[in-house]
Amino acid sequence: MNLMPTSYQTLADELTALANAAESAGHLMTMIVERLRELLPHYNWVGFYMLDEGENGAEPMLVLGPYVGAETPHKRILLHQGICGAAVSSAQTVVVDDVNADPRYLACSLETKSEIVAPVFVRDKVVGELDIDSHVPAAFTADDRQLVEHCASLVGRYLETTLPAETRRPS
Ligand code: SME
């Protein structure tokens, strides 16, 4: 059963169609952030971070990917830092109604009041996340969560299709 309101469902369906026609994962992520920012006024900063596992002893970290909104000083985030690190480390969506009351929060803009971060999974493993900031306190409802998780899953599924066939999840 899908509980999203019609407008969110229409947007989710549109993004699914975009995912089916995307030329690359980067292209898909760019279209998602632009469309969300364009249609949802309370989504003030919308961006993907992708996980760099770290090689030769380097620490794993999140690296900023396609985004729309104010420039952020947080282009690379270690997994023990921020709401972003918490979502990846716990492999769960994190919703923060009041970022200023959360000691984990790394500030991007002074105007940000609330945040949602949904992990991107490929074969049950976190490979990145979709991060959204709002200037509105407690902006993210259960419907937003469903939409944001849908967007994250579109990217995860797209990335799965780029894997060698024998390693893909059966459809
Ligand atoms: N607020 C995030 C950092 C990313 S910026 O907001 C774009 C965090 O606490 O991890």
Kindly report, residue by residue over 84-107, the tens digit of the pLDDT.
999 999 999 999 999 999 999 999
* Whether residue 129 has its Cβ less than 6 Å from ligand 1: no
Three-class secondary structure of residue 7 per DSSP: helix
Mutational pocket test of ligand 1: of 68, 74, 112, the residue with most ligand atoms within 8 Å of the beta carbon: 74
What was the pLDDT predicted at 167? 64
Ligand 1 atom 6, closest CA: 108
Ligand 1 atom 5, closest CA: 108
**CA dist list (Å): 169 to 7, 18, 44, 165:** 31, 21, 34, 9
Give CA–CA dist 63/30, Å, rounded.
Answer: 15
* Whether residue 18 has its Cβ less than 6 Å from ligand 1: no
Are 81 and 90 within 8 A, CB to CB? no
Mean pLDDT (whole number) for 53-61: 91
Amino acid at 155: V
What was the pLDDT predicted at 68? 98
More confident residue, 22 or 162: 22
Q: How far is the CA of 109 from the centre of ligand 1 (A)?
A: 9
Q: How far is the CA of 58 from the centre of ligand 1 (A)?
A: 22
DSSP 94-136: EEES-GGG-TT---S-TT--EEEEEEEEETTEEEEEEEEEESS
Closest CA to 102 of 138, 128, 70, 71: 138
What was the pLDDT predicted at 56? 86
Give CA–CA dist 22/119, Å, rounded.
Answer: 20
Dihedral angle sign, alpha carbons of residues 75, 141, 25, 91: positive
Q: Please, is 19 exposed, middle or buried when counting C-beta atoms within 10 Å of its C-beta (0-12, 13-18, 19+)? A: buried
Mutational pocket test of ligand 1: of 108, 130, 132, 134, the residue with most ligand atoms within 8 Å of the beta carbon: 108
Q: Which ligand 1 atom lies nearest to the CA of residue 115?
A: 1
Q: How far is the CA of 30 from the centre of ligand 1 (A)?
A: 18
What was the pLDDT predicted at 66? 98
